[in-house]
Amino acid sequence: MAPATPQHLLNTSWTLHRLSPLHHEKEFATLSTPTALKTYASRLQDQLTGSTLGGLQASGITSGAVADDEALSRTGALNSCTWETLPSLSFLEPQTQSRSNRRQPKQQPGILVILEYENIVYKAALLAPPPTTGSPTSDRKGSTHLPLLLTRLPGPLRQTFISFLAANFDTYCSALRFPSHFMCAGLEAYVNGINTEEDDRAAQRQTVLEDVVKEMQITLSFSSSIAPELRSLNVNIPRGSLADFVDTDREDGSILSSLSSYLEKHLAMKLDLSAESNKKISPAKEHVRVSRISCGGFLLGGDGRLKLVSVQKMIPGADVDEEDVVGGEGGSGEAPGEKARLMLRANEALLLAVLRRVASVDEQGV
């Protein structure tokens, strides 16, 4: 079976969950073999075979979400179900990766699940964070730890898939929520992926950053105890003002510090926008949190939403109904090589930040 590519993770609106280790010792020693993948793919397809809603109704999910049921009824019959290994989580070409960043063959980067219906393609991905130097492997014989589950599925189908994982791998799935400090860390990881590189092309990278990010919207959510009538506030950063917030000549050099100063000056709101989780919780951090960040390059939601945008539109299961081409005029889909490279690097930085966050929650419970 030909391996899938990490590009399947791009241009797709994902819902995120956490998974406990997958146990498969009774059937297979590892999930990475073609036989194991084909077995579980066939088993899932058998569960969904019949009418489009048959597998959902058999799982006890019937009238809970009428809109989702109607959407599923328009998908047509299930043509195929495939499980494939993801050989790498790097969006960059292999020749651009340093040898130290390449995964070893024995390590399990992830599994891509594709459900191809007559009229639409749905997909899911189970991913593992890259190993850190000196850290013990999280995989044991007969079990595989892929703690991040990404799904692009209607609600009932998502529940069916999660139930399938629980029944076949004795795994527990829970909703993934991001605290405010991680939302800030994710933003900085993305910006730094484009804007920090030791060469003489700083001006070009600044232009690319504005071209990719375009207008940024940061949603602030408030505790009901301090703002019972104000649940959230959207802060828009226009494209022309972005460079002022990412000025590398500032002493702090942080887009978050710049934004905090801006809000305090223009809105009289003293906020604690910090990517550090070990700081003492201030009143501002306790009652005001960053709940959503969206721009032309990515979307990150505190409720467990993620979308990484690239110039590569023609990917099965991508959100082709949305404007995914960044910086292109007239929908040409073309992008300069340097811009495309920096976009992919920023996407990879944000994805790895999410994976490390999931791993830290599993290890430390924070």
Confidence check: pLDDT of 95 > 80: no
**8 A C-beta contact, residue 215 and residue 239:** yes
Distance CA 273, CA 264 (A): 11
Distance CA 49, CA 55 (A): 7
Using one digit for the tens of pLDDT, what is the confidence trace for 289-325? 899 999 999 999 999 999 999 875 545 556 654 433 3
Distance CA 319, CA 313 (A): 8
Give yes or no: residues 211 and 322 share one domain.
yes
pLDDT > 70 in the chain, percent: 70
Which pLDDT value is given to residue 242? 79
Confidence check: pLDDT of 280 > 70: no
> Which amino acid type is present at position 200?
D
C-alpha torsion sign, points 78, 80, 85, 88? negative
User: Alpha helices, DSSP H only, in the chain?
Assistant: 34-48, 54-58, 66-73, 155-169, 180-195, 202-213, 242-245, 255-267, 283-287, 337-364
> Do the domain assignments include residue 204?
yes
> Do the domain assignments include residue 64?
yes
Which pLDDT value is given to residue 143? 87
Distance CA 72, CA 118 (A): 11
Domains identified in the chain, total number: 2
Give yes or no: residues 32 and 89 share one domain.
yes
Band (pLDDT 50/70/90 cuts) for residue 194 is confident
**8 A C-beta contact, residue 38 and residue 81:** no
> Do the domain assignments include residue 352?
yes
What spatial distance separates the first Cα and last Cα of the chain, rounded to whole Å? 38
Give yes or no: residues 47 and 189 share one domain.
no
Distance CA 166, CA 279 (A): 37
Looking at 132-141, 155-164, 203-212, which range is the least confident one?
A: 132-141
Confidence check: pLDDT of 108 > 90: no
Band (pLDDT 50/70/90 cuts) for residue 127 is very high
Which pLDDT value is given to residue 61? 42
Instruction: Look at residues 142, 175, 208 and tell me which one is the last residue of a structural domain.
Output: 175
Give yes or no: residues 139 and 16 share one domain.
yes
For the chain, the C-alpha Rg in angstroms (whole number) is 21
Instruction: Look at residues 175, 196, 219 and tell me which one is the last residue of a structural domain.
Output: 175
**Which whole number is the average pLDDT over 44-50?**
85
Confidence check: pLDDT of 272 > 60: yes
Query: Which residue(s) pair with 27 in the sheet?
Result: none
Which pLDDT value is given to residue 160? 94
**Which whole number is the average pLDDT over 315-344?**
56
Which pLDDT value is given to residue 103? 44
Distance CA 358, CA 176 (A): 8
**Which whole number is the average pLDDT over 132-158?**
78
Give yes or no: residues 101 and 162 share one domain.
yes
Give yes or no: residues 155 and 237 share one domain.
no
In 3D space, the residue among 34, 64, 14 whose CA is nearest the CA of residue 351 turns out to be 14
Q: What's the mean per-residue pLDDT of the chain?
A: 78
pLDDT > 90 in the chain, percent: 39
Tokens of 264: 């305090």
Band (pLDDT 50/70/90 cuts) for residue 141 is confident
Give yes or no: residues 162 and 236 share one domain.
no
Give yes or no: residues 187 and 236 share one domain.
yes
> Do the domain assignments include residue 134?
yes
Q: How big is the chain, counted in residues?
A: 366
Q: Are strands 121-127 and 288-294 parallel, antiparallel or unpaired?
A: unpaired
Confidence check: pLDDT of 251 > 70: no
Query: Which residue(s) pair with 125 in the sheet?
Result: 112, 150
Which pLDDT value is given to residue 331? 36
CB atoms within 10 A of CB 312: 19
Band (pLDDT 50/70/90 cuts) for residue 229 is confident
> Which amino acid type is present at position 321?
D
Distance CA 201, CA 252 (A): 21
In 3D space, the residue among 303, 206, 221 whose CA is nearest the CA of residue 255 turns out to be 206
Query: pTM score, two decimals?
Result: 0.82
Structural domain boundaries, residue 186: 180-364
Give yes or no: residues 171 and 195 share one domain.
no
> Do the domain assignments include residue 1?
no
Tokens of 11: 């241009």
Give yes or no: residues 225 and 166 share one domain.
no
> Do the domain assignments include residue 314?
yes
Which pLDDT value is given to residue 356? 94
Q: Which residues of 142-171 are buried (b: 16+ CB within 10 A; e: fewer)?
A: ebbbbbbbbbbbbbbbbbbbbbbbeebbeb
Distance CA 6, CA 341 (A): 14
Instruction: Look at residues 127, 149, 175 and tell me which one is the last residue of a structural domain.
Output: 175
Using one digit for the tens of pLDDT, what is the confidence trace for 206-226? 788 888 998 999 999 988 777
Which pLDDT value is given to residue 10? 95
Distance CA 116, CA 84 (A): 14
> Which amino acid type is present at position 325?
V
**Which whole number is the average pLDDT over 277-286?**
62
Give yes or no: residues 170 and 185 share one domain.
no
Give yes or no: residues 145 and 205 share one domain.
no
